[in-house]
Structure 1
Amino acid sequence: MIPYFKNKYLQTLLQCFLFGILVLANLQCVLRPSGDLREFESYFPHENPNSLIQKGKVRVTFLGTTSILLDDGETQVLTDGFFTRPSLWKTAFSKIESDPIILASVLEKAKINRLKGIFVCHSHYDHAMDSPFVAKLTNAKLFGSNSTINVGLGAGLDMANMEEFQIGKPIKLGKFVITVLESKHTPPFRILGKTNATDPNFPNITSPLIQPVKAFAYIEGGTFDFYIQHGKNKIVIKSSTNFVMGAYDKFKADVLFLGIAQLSLQPKQFQEEFFDETIQKLNPKFIIPIHWDNFFKPLNKPLEPNLKLGDDFDANMNALLKRSAKDQIQVQLMQGFETIDLF
């Protein structure tokens, strides 16, 4: 109960003060991690092989969000390559741009020194923003939608160093064969009155996107999955928590990198269909969850789960673990810069 003040100015001031405390308390709650990684300690490998990659083997390094580095000792392939990771406040209230110092440091730490291709799953900033600059620094080729090509043009990449996706057409890089599959973005959500849904009047980035720009200038431009073969071994990278019915009918995978962002926020029927169309169809030996971390935090710090503001990491993981246990499939989480041999 607010005490009575004869001075209406003081009463209004007190009301504003108490309202401010309430807002700050709510913000502190929703800006906390949506889960506790300690609850899933047993799912982390906690081993980073330092030996040379043996012939025929494939090593993976996780670089946060959906940035996945595959390496067979001769050729490296990268998905997305989002390393700058601007803060929440900068992303929400300012223009954003790639940080060349951060990019160089990640390339060095992750030993990205024989990169041949960067594959961008869609053109939102947390996937496409850094990709053309990584391509320039490594002389790798950028593969993506027409929207991603325009991000590349805005970064000064030449068309000779980019290639627009052709669904279903295999791309050979060393011993890796990458086939792009059509997919869907995670269902739209609304936070603080704003939605990430694509405006049907502006579904693509139609001209070169020159940094710095607002985050919402990075329009989805279509979403894609990657089916990657290396000898007899098969990998699927699904960055978004959604599916195209029947897309995996003719595919199997040894390893599935599965986007789980906002999984538990979807209706139960959606969750079951999502698992049926991914885990059940592909029947992988093990699953590595991706797109679970708070990408407003820098990559040089330990990764934390997505914010309570828009996700529930604990519920996402528990839903995945329940389904994977039913299908007797191993699940393994990876920290930033953590490396394991897949095969």
Structure 2
Amino acid sequence: MPTLNTIQTKQKFYQFIMYLLIFLFSSSCAFRSSGDLHLYDSYFPHETGLIPIPKGKVRATFLGTASILLDDGETQILTDGFFTRPSLWKTAFSKIESDPVTIQSVIEKAKIDHLKAIFVCHSHYDHVMDSPFVAKQTKAKLYGSSSTLNVGLGAGLSNEQMVLFQPGTPIVIGKFTITVLESKHTPPFRILGKTNATDPNHPNIDSPLAGPVKATDYIEGGTFDFLIQHGKNKILIKSSTNFVEGAFDKIHADVLFLGIAQLSLQPILFQEQFYKETIQTLKPKLLIPIHWDNFFKPLSVPLEPNLKLGDDFDGNLKFILKRTSEEKIQVQLLQGFETIDLF
């Protein structure tokens, strides 16, 4: 006959197994994609930019997260340029650094062969990490905050190849005119006990940063939007899901690249005000959501939505599609390396 100790031991074992199964089930759900792209197939153009750019047109190529290549056939402008995309495991538990082989393969596949400038929206690793190496390999100038420039110095860029942001001052590069606008990062979040909130006592990368380093060593250092004019047409690139009240009151954009990460996880009041301060105010003809993809997976495979662990792609997009359909604004999604001629 089993003793009391034996029964208690078995009960504890069964409890452990139950908790383990619950944990594994919860983890498997959390690490699943937060959306099904097949449901939105009609929003993808399925173009790869094989034909030459028509004269006077501007072509955009999406390279994941907030990496957007703009090309008018004479000059190329790039935002961010984050191509290495280390795995979730490596990012969370190890040190990360740029992979020159991966970067070069993306440069070649995307035909980045007349790049003049790279504009970095903020200095978290998923925006800035590869930018200095793209600059090195293309001879393009790196534009950014003091934090971004310290990442550039750590990677060996010279001061002559880097330009500190001067918000509000137009920069002419070929037929593009770029104006850097001060912005705000997506509201802070906490995952697995860690937060991406900026430490007010250490808000910037204040010395040269050379990899390999921890992902958390890449400090935001301020967030920026980019207003880009080409001829009579205007593009607004906004990578983060946040707003500065009234910042766009005097601005119109024909095309809006809009970061939607974690939008539906915010309070309803925030979602409504975000829509009002961006899409409703800018009145774009075309809206292209960005920063929706799982950047722990490589660009060499089709992009997937962010993980359920920290996002809700379906919720984000459904909110956007409902509101834009009411106002008859065209929405277009882009896969990795897909292109679209903007105007």
- SS of alignment partner, residue 95 of structure 2: coil
- The one-letter code matched in structure 2 to 1:141 is K
Per the normalisation by structure 1, the TM-score is 0.97
Q: Where does residue 338 of structure 2 map in the other structure?
A: 338
Tell me the distance in 1 between the aligned counterparts of 2:142 and 2:29: 39
Instruction: Give the count of matched residue pairs.
Output: 341
Residue 59 of structure 1 is matched in structure 2 by 59
What do the CA deviations read for 1:260-283 (whole angstroms, capped 9, x no partner)? 000001111111111111111111
The offset of 1:7, in angstroms, is 7.2
Q: Distance in 1 between matches of 2:50 and 2:149?
A: 35
Supply the distance in 1 between the matched residues of 2:146 and 2:25 (Cα, whole angstroms). Answer: 43
Q: Measure the CA separation in 2 of the matches of 1:311 and 1:280.
A: 24
Whether 2:163 is the aligned partner of 1:160: answer no
Q: Match of 1:190?
A: 190
Equivalent residue number for residue 219 of structure 2: 219
> Equivalent residue for 1:30?
30
Q: Compute the displacement of 1:5 (Å).
A: 6.8
| Displacement of 1:215 | 0.2
Q: Give the Cα separation in 1 of the matches to 2:287 and 2:148.
A: 27
After superposition, give the CA deviation of every residue in 1:6-31 in whole Å (9 maximum; x if it has no partner).
17666555543443332221110000
Distance 2:16 2:109 in 1: 48
**5+ unaligned residues in a row in structure 2: which ranges?**
none
Alpha-carbon separation, structure 2, partners of 1:159 and 1:49: 34
Name the residue aligned to 2:46: 46
Q: Percent identity?
A: 71
Preserved CA contact (<8 Å) 1:121 1:224: yes
Structure 1 counterpart of 2:90, one-letter code: K
Report the Cα distance in structure 1 between the residues aligned to 2:273 and 2:14, rounded to whole angstroms: 51
Residue aligning to 1:251: 251
What CA distance in whole angstroms lies between the structure 1 residues aligned with 2:231 and 2:293?
31
Equivalent positions of 1:26-175 (< 5 A) are 26-175=26-175
Shift of 1:326: 1.8
| Match in the other structure for 2:203 | 203
Q: Distance in 1 between matches of 2:47 and 2:164?
A: 37
Tell me what 1:282 maps to: 282
Contact 2:48–2:337 (8 Å) recurs in 1: no
Q: What is the CA deviation profile of residues 299-332 of structure 1, one whole-angstrom value per residue up to 9, with x for unaligned ones?
A: 1000000000011000100100111112210000
Give, in whole Å, the separation in 1 of the partners of 2:106 and 2:42: 27
Q: Does 1:322 align with 2:318?
A: no
Q: How far is 1:41 from its partner?
A: 1.0
Paired letter, 1:70 = L
In the alignment, the residues of structure 1 paired with residue 280 and residue 135 of structure 2 have an alpha-carbon distance, to the nearest angstrom, of 35
Give yes or no for contact 1:5–1:11 (8 Å, CA) kept in 2: no
Q: Compute the RMSD of aligned alpha carbons.
A: 1.5
The TM-score normalised by the length of structure 2 is: 0.97
Residue 300 of structure 2 is matched in structure 1 by 300
Contact between 1:43 and 1:331, CA under 8 Å: does it hold in 2? yes
Give the secondary-structure state (helix, strand or coil) at the position aligned to 1:66: coil
Mapped to 1, the partners of 2:136 and 2:10 lie a distance apart of 59
In 2, the alpha carbon distance for the partners of 1:315 and 1:300 equals 26
Q: CA 1:49–1:104 in structure 2 vs 1: closer, same or farther (change >3 Å)?
A: closer
- Of 89-98 and 9-18, deviating more is 9-18
AA at the equivalent of 1:118: I
Partners of 1:26 and 1:174 in 2: how far apart?
Answer: 51
Question: Is this contact kept in 1: 2:49–2:338, CA < 8 A?
Answer: no
User: Aligned equivalents of 2:332 and 2:217: distance in 1?
Assistant: 34
- My pick for the range that moved more, 111-120 or 21-30, is 21-30
1:49 deviates by 3.7
> After alignment, is 20-29 or 267-276 more displaced?
20-29
Cα distance between partner residues in 1 of 2:10 and 2:155: 54
